[in-house]
Structure 1
């Protein structure tokens, strides 16, 4: 089975920052978004802004309508939702089920897989804003793909259709992967907040804008180095 064999009906569970954007990316590749779940008024507004005209539906109805279901919900909620829906017989044989949590592989999806669903873990290495701007940034990003070997090509094809670059991460490496993502995200945020705070205290207007080029160039240099140190004379 291939994600490119035909257009899929895609259901999105979760209208936070990630789900609607991935839905829009797949819609741009020609897939049909069958529905999205959204609880709060803010999430409903976000879903309507990014996926206009897509119906907001109960989760069981989304699953019933969809060949691909994306779980874009907090990591701690995935296991209970998947197992609970498995007990009701909601998951369908051949249905593709993907979650977006960095720290989990496909083991958390086993209750659905036991009923014939195809399990995928797809985590975009991107800090989402929950706006259409994320679509362009997604096209410049990588997505960690964890899946049983026979269905890895399905996950890779879906990522390519989103416009991103797939990278296979083993199930046993998901915890280390999540640690790397958290370290990069939390450390960079903390340092920038600290630096802008210091500049604000000494009266620098718009400290975020002041540091923007410096931070971007410093991060770009660190990424190019990839763990290799420059010689002291090259840093002068």
Structure 2
């Protein structure tokens, strides 16, 4: 793996990801030559994590850089690449890397066509935009993508990730949409699920639901990562249809907005528990009926 030479890095822009990765590259010995930011929060992050780095418009940041780091929302990325290319800010010999999980390197066509090296470097981590993220990168994998067949480009991508302290994982261009779907489905929906569980506990009068949920959910996550479906527990996997009916009834009474998600997840749990041999075949019909039971019927 070849270490990139010391590079002038331009960060577009100083969001939670860009500011942290810019600081990680600076820590690795590169020079952040410019950063762009508009909102008060992004300017504060730039000041905290990239002190003394000039805050400039995107075309000036990119034009002065050897490595252009595009840390933008997915929907903003294609337009920014086209705009920078049209402004003449991207040139042959540059490295142009983005941090989007949803895109590979095809989106960088306006830059790679004229001869820039395009890379996708997606950190599989949630960011706060604060200094502690620099340490969390040490336990973070990056989904990296380069042009098919260009082993030198793949090596540059991997070397940059290693320099930042992360672990590179190769993701082919065609697999990027499914790769990103998997991560979003797991991480984003997990936050929603945990928050809804905490809301339900508050409804019971529990003042600190995180103290109840923390050990339980940490163990469940660890077991799921270690053992997959064999880690399933609870009334659906056991075939306790009566308990599932109670869940449906109380959600219908107290949190009807959560009931569709509960039913959808319970159905997938039943399917996976059946396929893995945890849920007895003779109990699957009862569980399916309980999941779909009418909330009024459950009160009778």
SS of residue matched to 1:53: coil
**Contact conserved, 2:34 with 2:54, CA < 8 A, in 1?**
yes
2:188 aligns to what? Answer: 186
Runs of 4+ in 1 over 4 A off after TM superposition: none
SS of residue matched to 2:16: coil
**Contact conserved, 2:58 with 2:84, CA < 8 A, in 1?**
no
Q: How many residues align?
A: 231
Gaps of 5+ in 2: 234-277, 279-300
**Contact conserved, 2:223 with 2:231, CA < 8 A, in 1?**
no
69 and 231 in structure 1: CA distance in 2 versus 1, 3 angstrom threshold: closer
2:230 aligns to what? Answer: 229
Gaps of 5+ in 1: none
Q: Whose helix proportion is higher, 1 or 2? A: 2
Normalized against structure 1, the TM-score is what? 0.93
Residue 206 of structure 1: how far off its partner (Å): 2.3
Alignment partners' CA distance in 1, 2:54 and 2:5: 22
CA deviations on 1:106-138 (whole Å, 9 max, x unpaired) are 000011001111000111100111111111111
SS of residue matched to 1:79: helix
Normalized against structure 2, the TM-score is what? 0.73
Residue 5 of structure 1: how far off its partner (Å): 4.2
2:159 aligns to what? Answer: 157
Residue 217 of structure 1: how far off its partner (Å): 2.0
Alignment partners' CA distance in 2, 1:75 and 1:103: 7
The alignment's C-alpha RMSD in Å is 1.8
Name the structure, 1 or 2, with higher relative contact order (CA <8 Å, separation 6+): 1
CA deviations on 1:84-112 (whole Å, 9 max, x unpaired) are 22122221211000111111010000110
